[in-house]
Amino acid sequence: MSTDSLYQELVRLRETLENHNYNYYVLDNPSIPDAEYDRMFRRLQEIEQQQPEWQSAQSPSQRVGALARGHLPEVAHEVPMLSLDNAFNEDELTAFQQRVQERTGVTGDLQWCAEPKLDGLAVSLLYEQGQLVRGATRGDGYQGEDITANVKTIRAIPLSLRANEQGEFPERLEVRGEVFISLASFERMNEKALAQGSKLFANPRNAAAGSLRQLDSRITAERSLDFYAYAMGEVTPARQLDNDSHYARLEQLRAWGFPVSRETKRLTTNQACITYYRDLLARRDALPYEIDGVVFKLDAIALQEQLGFVARAPRWAVAQKFPAQEQLTWLRGVDFQVGRTGAITPVARLEPVEVGGVVVSNATLHNADEIERLGVRIGDRVTIRRAGDVIPQVVGVVVDERPANSSAVEFPSRCPVCDSAVERVAGEAVSRCTGGLFCGAQRKEAIKHFASRKALDVDGLGDKLVEMLVDRDWVQHPADLFKLNALQLASLPRMGQKSAENLVNALARSRKTTLARFLYSLGIREVGEATAQNLANYFGSLDALMAASEEQLQEVDDVGVIVAAHVHNFFREPHNQEVINMLTQGERAVYWPEVAPANAASLDLAGHTYVLTGTLEQMTRDEAKEQLQARGAKVAGSVSGKTTGVFAGANAGSKLTRAEQLGVPIYTEAELIKLLES
């Protein structure tokens, strides 16, 4: 590269980094991931080292952050609040340790103080005569912003110092630390913002920074901020300081009332630093707050003073960064995946990029609302986030780099797997395929549900067997189950001739059912046992139900606008109609007794709620439940003051006791049979 080109790159890097500093420190709205910033920063350092005559006091490499915002009073730091140099792998950490040994003349292992690198906002707290008198942001390292009123709202920060065991505390003490927000508080904050229609925070760091720099400290008080101390600035009188150990000074801060991270450790060897880093990296996602690395500081104060500082960082400390959880890449396209419940999820196809130590080429966009919120278009440069085992997701768009040929993301109106209609009920974020009986993506779950105990109750047809049948393409929809024969089934692994015959017989028995069970077996969204029974009672026949309008469906007890839409859309889908016809016609059809519809004759037990408990002798509890529901009654699983009565069989337990406590009428099995026969 020519000298002119290199100088132009230097100018561009300085300007770009200053812009990103402004976005990050002043606006609390970073437009690129930390890893991208680190890459540009290191490139700037390389050029300045290569051409020392180009170095400047105004370069971002000589500063920490950006100038303070004008609307908060400025504070000059008496002792500069500098940043840290970074190590991005174990080799760089080892090289740092070797440089420290060479400069200090120590030949053996050094002692270190290790702590998590919190992803929050650095602050300075000043105490005089034991009272908190000022709080300030780090700002550019030399001047920050006065945030005294806001830090006083953080409960983790003491308003008054506690005396140590000797009954002492400094006359003047400056404490440095990190203000951050826990993951739980961050989630609650965004849930509240979503409910209020406000802008969501991109990450906990932004949430902490935005909360701490409010003009109205009442807003800060609502945000549940936290604080960990990690260093001291000015201390008067200095004789009260532990002059031997950085770790011991942190223990002094604890004694004076400051929280210090419980993850902070004193390490006695260089190798122990690598072990500590690996351990914290493995536990990173289990911590209640976000961290982006580990900070290692020489524990010996005398050695710290011997090494001193460079322009922007101490020579005796380093931050070893974790693999970046956010990266920039290009969005090349969007595919739409159909889940086992019919949910349609947009998946971004990306230019492959390494995030968190894993190469990512796909990331979720969640749903249509999220696409609209992000304003993302195909061709955009996007921020990808991956935390632990969480599925990578698109969390931001670099609008300034949007190409002219970008295109909108169009959500499909037809299922990309089976071409059934896609429904999105008002008030729901998720779009779903309506072809539940037909759709290949939903096939396994649909058949498992169809054969389950409360549906057609096919004895012996377990989940693993269903998966084998679908994987071999023997069963594409529920109607195919009744085409299976014993010879075919006996060829499956761990399926003998007798087991195969038993399954064929169980399938034959399951064909005789009830309309309510059949409706439940179809797996219509939000149609459980009780709703299926209500639909069967009201319409009396499958044909009448399938022909019903949404308005007619809403006349059924417990069927509201949303459930009516699900039922209506399900039966209007031609693919579902095709499978239902195959299930209900021919020699192997499912059948049930005719039911007198409730809209033609009232049900005498409508409005009553019963509970069944104990062992019945003349029928099963499921049979009793079906007969009660067929007469319009509700059968509940627990006893309450609204329960009409409890039918108790042998060995009845807590439900019987609860009924006695509430004074709910208790009946025998004989009285149940008499009621059902009346």
- Quick check: helix, strand or coil at residue 563? helix
Check: CB of residue 392 under 8 Å from CB of residue 384.
yes
The two three-digit tokens of residue 242, written as one number: 């532990």
Beta carbons of 655 and 666 less than 8 angstroms apart: no
CA distance linking residue 151 with residue 132, whole number of Å = 10
* Cβ contacts of 364 within 8 Å, gap of 6 or more: 345, 346, 347, 348, 391, 392, 393, 394
Phi, psi of 305 (to 5 degrees): -65, -35
346: closest CA among 373, 367, 372? 367
* CA–CA gap between residue 304 and residue 241 (Å, rounded): 15
**199 has catalytic annotation:** no
CA 597 vs CA 204, 480, 538, 634, 676: distances in Å: 57, 30, 5, 17, 18
The number of residues making up the chain comes to 678
Sign for the CA dihedral angle at 202, 204, 206, 211 comes to positive
List CB contacts of 268: < 8 A, sequence separation 6 or more: 109, 111
Reduced 3-state DSSP string for 422-433? EECCCCCCCEEE
CA-only gyration radius of the chain, Å? 34
Angle, alpha carbons 507-508-511 (nearest 5°) = 90
Q: Contact, 171 vs 239, CB < 8 A?
A: no
Helices 204-212 and 183-196: crossing angle in degrees, nearest 10, is 80
Query: Which member of 117, 297, 321, 625 is catalytic?
Result: 117
Those residues whose C-beta lies under 8 Å from the C-beta of residue 379, and which sit 6 or more positions away, are 330, 331, 332, 402, 403, 405, 406, 407
Beta bridge partners of 394: 384
Cα–Cα distance, 24 to 17 (Å, whole number): 10
End-to-end CA distance of the chain: 98
Tokens standing for residue 537: 């009672």
Secondary structure (3-state) at 90: helix
State which H helix or E strand residue 369 sits in: helix 368-374
Tokens of 498: 């007798």
- State how far the alpha carbon of 439 is from the alpha carbons of 46, 432, 548, in Å: 56, 11, 24
Q: Give the C-alpha separation, 258 to 246, whole Å.
A: 15
Calpha distance 299→628 (Å, rounded)? 76
In sequence order, the β-bridge partners of residue 321 are 293
What ranges make up the beta strands (E) of 71-204? 74-76, 86-87, 112-118, 121-128, 131-137, 143-145, 172-181
The angle formed by the CA atoms of residues 640, 643 and 644, to the nearest 5 degrees, is 160
Sign of CA dihedral 57, 58, 64, 69: positive
Distance of CA 152 to the CA centre of its chain: 31
Give yes or no for a contact between 662 and 639, defined as CB atoms under 8 angstroms apart.
yes
Q: Which residues are catalytic?
A: 117
